Amino acid sequence: MTERIIRNDLLGEQYYEIEHDSGLRVLVMELPRYTGAFAMFGTRFGSVDTCFKRSDEADYTTVPDGIAHFLEHKLFESEEKDAFERFNQTGASANAFTSYDRTSYLFQCADRVEENLEILLDFVTHPYFTEETVQKEQGIIGQEIRMYQDNPDWVLVLNLLRAIYHANPARLDIAGSVESIAEITPALLYACYRTFYNHSNMVLAVAGNVTKEQVLAVCDRALQKEAPVRFEQIVPEEPDTVAQPYIEAVMPVELPKFALGFKQPAQPLVRSDRETVAMEIALDIAAGKLSPLYHALLEKGLINPSFSAFYFTGRGFAVPMIVGESADPAAVREAVLARIEALQQNGISDEDFSLSRKQLYGRAVRGFNDVDDLAYQLTDACFRGSTLFGEIESFRAVTKEDVTEMLGRLQSANSSFSVVKGAKA
């Protein structure tokens, strides 16, 4: 077992990174000033991982869309007692989620941390799938898929990704389709589990009123040593151009919703902290709450406070995105593109750069007051090959030239516009 302390002297915060004897990476942030703790147990397996080959196998395995999300649901079941029932008995609040590039299982509790941690590690490391339970879950998740298809915000973003990407699996619905999940079998679930739920591909993060010794004691009891599993994943070739510049859906909404996204050049699978911070600043200067654009559009009644800009990233994809609601989405799009073009031509002022950097830096620092968010950020940073303090340190290191470069990537000719409007809009 190896251990190191990762510390940021400016914030006065630190956490432990431990390579446990089981092969699992364990992150512990001791925060005695909080009541209770938050734990997250995650794996690098998400909806984009639909084709892979283990190093000990000759052929690639292709699995149905939505299988990572399906597997997340199934792991809560066992031959005896559902994991949610076990957490209810300890008073903990448990949940899980699947995203494009990961699946995470979590709990929050006020006490009995070790007992809850044992439950978490136990049910995630003991899969139980049968033909009968898989068929039952297909019906349940089929209903969930239909529910999301009726959610305008979900359709808005999913359509934007489909408009931007030709082949990148980020364009697929995380839950798959009713047709794709019908192809899932216990054998396929076990194949995915044996590949991606290996300790070498997972991270356990615990933050709150807990000690490193408590966490490691549970890991020692609950986890067996596993040999690392190596695998390759196919990343489809993606053209530089967008799949389509405009996409529209008609749904029952009071105001049309819009999402403007910009396709980015091919990059490493994971964006660096510095690039991410630079793009966040560029978007904030262009369309943030303190920008002239935001106030002008608000005064004209073209947007409401839902208007926001953010960098939507994951393993293998990255989309600078501006979303909101408007009675005239096309007018907002033109105003946003005009603002970006003006900044590209005239440059970013020192004042705007300094103001935006300080504002976003302050928001990042405030995040350290949220123990729930810290556990997520610990896991996220580890999966990206960074540390919890990587973003904070990048805000101090980023330059105006970095931001100018990111701003140059927001090209109208390589953008897509997604709109969800009512039948009479």
Looking at the annotation, which residues are catalytic?
72
Q: How far apart are CA 396 and CA 295, in angstroms?
A: 28
- Amino acid letter, 390: G
Q: At which residue do the structure tokens 């608000």 appear?
A: 298
Q: How far apart are CA 372 and CA 367, in angstroms?
A: 9
Angle between helices 350-366 and 390-397 (to 10 degrees): 160
Q: What is the CA radius of gyration of the chain?
A: 23
Q: Which residues contact 246 (CB under 8 A, 6 or more apart)?
A: 163, 416, 417, 418, 419
Q: How many residues does the chain have?
A: 425
Closest CA to 287 of 346, 338, 362, 350: 338
Q: Are 76 and 133 in contact (CB under 8 A)?
A: no
Helices (DSSP H) in 92-211: which residue ranges? 113-124, 131-149, 152-164, 178-181, 186-196
Q: Are 192 and 372 in contact (CB under 8 A)?
A: no
Tokens for 4? 């190191």
Q: From start to end of 20-175, where are the E strands?
A: 25-30, 37-43, 51-54, 61-62, 93-98, 103-109
Three-state DSSP class for residue 15: strand
Q: How far apart are CA 8 and CA 5, in angstroms?
A: 10
